[in-house]
Chains A and B, each alone.
Chain A
Amino acid sequence: MVSPEVLIKAHDLTKKFGNLTAVDHIDFEVFKGECVGFLGPNGAGKTTTVRMIYCFLPLTEGELSVAGMSVTEQSREIKSMVGVAPQEDNLDPDFTVIKNLLVYARYFDIPKAEASKRATEQLNFFQLREKQSVLISELSTGMKRRLILARALISEPQILLLDEPTTGLDPQARHLVWDEVRALRKRGVTIIITTHYMDEAAALCDRVLIMDNGKIIEQGVPAELVKKHVGEDVLEIDNDEKLMQTLKKEFPDAHFETFGDRIHVFTSQPHGVFENFLEKFPTKNVTIRNANLEDVFLKLTGRRLRD
């Protein structure tokens, strides 16, 4: 599904707001057909980067091109091929659900009949059909978010930019959105997602670019990044001096992180090694789990993805 063709290319991309450097000389590529995640805490520069891709914010330094076109010179052409689902709700409260889609379609010069057809398709896909004549204020947050997604797709874009698509949604709505993103991936749409949820990045993305303080601190396939940095299994146990000594003796090659009142022990040794330990030293308040991207971020920065 992923072709070697580079669709988005950034070199030395920088964005400064006065004294604040929000995006700090980053390089990245996005290939056609991939789903790429920009993963990082709030303030990492993810949304700013995405806003430069759809030509909303001018860049301060560096180069950024989409489908070979420069964001500075050919913004209108780029905007015609990109669909944006922003983080905030900027649906028009003066219009009904379907009118929001039809008006948006006009901005892309889509003829009325075609727009009508596409709007109906999108409403069906996102299960909003019976709400089509309802005003925005009467929709739940989850429905509004789905409408924003539907609106982003009305122009049948080659590239879809999703900025924090499931922030603030309940688990059921989140999974609905994830299913929809997976369906779009199957259709071959190139997707960029920004998120601070590591499970979202791991579930949806072919590749992940981890951002912090405006820089890309690591990038790669989620599973490989986890294996590379923190191993496969994690043992979480209460922080206790004696326990720590025992653990260090039993697992001399393991990586340790102390966070608050818990110790995390990471290992790439075969499964079962933690279970054996617990048989020898039974302890309360113990969790054994798979390592994930949150652990990677913690190791690389010393902080959590969510504050």
Chain B
Amino acid sequence: MKTIRVNFLPSLLEPILYLFALGLGLGGFVQPIEGVPYINFIAPALISISIMYGSFFECTYASFVRMYFQKTFDAIIATPVSVEEVIAGELVWGATRATINSTTVLAVVAAFGLISSPLFLLVPLLAFLGGLLFSSIAMCFTALAPNIDFFNYPSFLLITPMFLLSGTFFPLSVLPPPVQTAAQVFLPLTHVVNLTRGLILGRIETILLLSIVWIAIVTPIFFVLSINLMKKRLIR
């Protein structure tokens, strides 16, 4: 019970704080974006961000601790379970954690009355897939990390930029076109945010197909890559 509280309480409190501070506080000074009030605009972003954080930090810091300090993976690989299965299990857990976290945020968003469509029921499914994507990317870093401080690199160079620049707190359209394209090609969160916004606001446009395809292609690539990299790291 204690572990559950300390692990999932942040995902309950953070969105509440952001919705108050940015949604209601800042939002009072901001014009509607894409036809919706600012607080409605950022709510899906908060859900997407919890998907990203939940899976990415689980499959970097927590997996690294299991691999390097506790040697848990070595212990499991001595049983009939193979190394591929161990890593796949870690990735699925990262995705599960992302789903649980984001469902908590979804509940908060619902409590604030910010859901405009019954399509919101598909958000947990999107969370699992998005979680798998971020878990796989994270696991690649874990396979290459010489020590635990190494994760500062992807944290500051990847996660924080994505947090701010994936169409989360302002629409991509205000950025210069080359930067917009870069965000859509290289930043996974952009696509998760697009899809979440579509589901929460009930706006299904054909452009969302691009995001689905992007996720559907990139996820398996990193899934397989991360398992191969971890295999090389664990078994010499």
Contacts and interface: CB of A to CB of B under 8 A. Distances in A.
Contacts of B82: 75-76
A276 B74 CA distance: 57
Given A79-B80, A80-B80, A86-B75, A56 B235 contact: yes
Interface residue SS majority, chain A = loop
Contacts of B2: none
A90 B80 contact: no
Contacts of B81: 107
A206 to B, nearest CB: 24
A92 interface: yes
A220 to B, nearest CB: 29
B235 A90 contact: no
Given A17-B236, A56-B235, A58-B235, A107 B70 contact: no
Contacts of B74: 56, 86, 88, 90
B6 interface: no
B206 interface: no
A38 interface: no
Among B74, B76, B79, B80, the one with the most A-chain Cβ atoms within 10 Å of its Cβ is: B79
Interface residues of A, number: 23
Interface in A71-93: 75-77, 79-80, 84, 86, 88-93
B236 A107 contact: no
A84 B235 contact: no
Interface in B61-108: 70-72, 74-82
A57 interface: yes
Nearest to B75: A90
A104 B71 contact: no
A91 B72 CA distance: 7
Contact of B78 (A17, A84, A93): A84
Interface string A168-186: 0000000000000000000
Among B72, B75, B76, the one with the most A-chain Cβ atoms within 10 Å of its Cβ is: B75
Contacts of A58: 235
Interface string A150-193: 00000100000000000000000000000000000000000000
Nearest to A80: B80
B76 to A, nearest CB: 6
A79 B78 CA distance: 7
A108 interface: yes
B79 A92 contact: no
B70 A92 contact: yes
Contacts of B71: 88-90
A109 interface: yes
B121 to A, nearest CB: 33
Among B72, B80, B82, B235, the one with the most A-chain Cβ atoms within 10 Å of its Cβ is: B80
A88 B70 CA distance: 10
A90 B70 contact: yes
B235 A107 contact: no
A56 B80 contact: no
A43 to B, nearest CB: 16
Interface in B22-78: 70-72, 74-78
Given A56-B235, A57-B235, A57-B236, A107 B72 contact: no
A297 interface: no
A160 to B, nearest CB: 12
A253 to B, nearest CB: 49
A54 interface: yes
Contacts of A76: 80, 82
A104 B236 CA distance: 24
Nearest to B71: A90
Nearest to B76: A107
Contact of B79 (A89, A91, A108): A108
Given A93-B70, A107-B81, 14 more contacts: A54-B78, A56-B77, A56-B78, A56-B235, A75-B82, A76-B80, A77-B80, A79-B79, A84-B78, A86-B75, A90-B72, A92-B72, A92-B75, A104-B79
| 7 pairs of A and B residues whose beta carbons are closest in the complex | A107-B79, A90-B71, A90-B75, A84-B78, A79-B80, A76-B80, A80-B80
20 contacts: A54-B78, A56-B235, A57-B236, A58-B235, A76-B80, A76-B82, A79-B80, A84-B78, A86-B74, A88-B74, A90-B71, A90-B72, A90-B74, A90-B75, A92-B72, A107-B79, A107-B81, A108-B79, A108-B80, A155-B79
Interface of B: 70-72, 74-82, 235-236
